[in-house]
């Protein structure tokens, strides 16, 4: 009896662990619908420079060539320590912080504030990316495999750019029932090309992870 109990406990424990395992990825197929029009270039109404609503040091730049997020860090340097730190100012940049490259700065009293920026591209017009437009919403498709994509939803309300990704860890039951679970080495959800499934996914807020950017 002891071994039977142990065996049952192990089965229960294994099933519980599997049931609690969260799926953190979702991939998309292109929707097969005439309501989703294809565009290679982002519509011009989205072009501009934006900053993140709750963190103005994070910027988003959109134009016909690319979409990039910039993470900025302000680096203070006391003026009296510039020589010791082997930094110097030339025209409108400060050198010695970034290898072979000057960075913009602002001088306030006895301190130089250098602005270090790291660029993270999320779209380039020479990449394997494209847009699908549905009503007033734009969906950026970035190729992951031959048939699968990651998708970011963009919309614009006056001077506010709304960028929405999809976080499977907080999917509702109605969303989960509308996607396929692919039990691969790393399980993931798949939204198929079905027009009805795409529209249901959008209606049920499958794109649920929102970041707001304000136009500069």
Query: What percent of the chain stands above pLDDT 70?
Result: 90
At 105-154, the pLDDT tens digits run 899 999 999 988 899 999 988 778 999 999 989 999 999 998 999 999 99
Q: What is the pLDDT of residue 99?
A: 82
What distances in angstroms separate CA 102 from CA 80, 87, 88, 165, one per listed residue? 19, 10, 9, 34
How does residue 75 score in pLDDT terms, banded at 50, 70 and 90?
Answer: confident
Query: What percent of the chain stands above pLDDT 90?
Result: 67
Question: What is the length of the chain?
Answer: 216
Give 195's contacts (C-beta < 8 A, 6+ positions apart): 31, 32, 33, 35
At 10-57, the pLDDT tens digits run 444 444 334 445 788 999 999 999 999 999 899 999 999 999 999 999
How does residue 8 score in pLDDT terms, banded at 50, 70 and 90?
Answer: very low
What distances in angstroms separate CA 142 from CA 8, 14, 127, 146, 204, one per listed residue? 45, 36, 9, 11, 22
Map out the domains of the chain as residue ranges.
20-65+125-215, 72-119
Q: What is the pLDDT of residue 101?
A: 87
């Amino acid at each position: 009896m002891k071994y039977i109990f142990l065996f049952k406990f192990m089965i229960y424990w294994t099933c519980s662990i599997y049931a609690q395992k969260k799926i953190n990825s979702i991939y998309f197929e292109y929707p097969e619908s005439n309501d989703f029009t294809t565009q290679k270039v982002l519509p011009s109404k989205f072009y501009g420079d934006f900053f993140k609503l709750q963190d103005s040091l994070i910027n988003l730049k959109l134009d016909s060539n690319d979409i990039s997020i910039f993470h900025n860090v302000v680096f203070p340097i006391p003026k009296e320590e510039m020589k010791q730190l082997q930094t110097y100012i030339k025209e409108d940049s400060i050198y010695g912080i970034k290898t072979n490259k000057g960075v913009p700065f602002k001088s306030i009293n006895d301190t130089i504030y250098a602005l270090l920026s790291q660029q993270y591209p999320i779209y380039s017009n020479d990449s394997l990316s494209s847009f699908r437009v549905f009503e007033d919403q734009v969906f950026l498709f970035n190729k992951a495999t031959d048939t699968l994509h990651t998708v970011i939803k963009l919309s614009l309300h006056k001077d506010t750019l709304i960028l929405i990704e999809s976080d499977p860890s907080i999917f509702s039951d109605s969303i989960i029932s509308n996607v396929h679970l692919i039990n691969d080495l790393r399980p993931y959800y798949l939204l198929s090309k079905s027009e009805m499934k795409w529209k249901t996914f959008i209606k049920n807020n499958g794109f649920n992870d929102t970041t707001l950017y304000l136009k500069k």
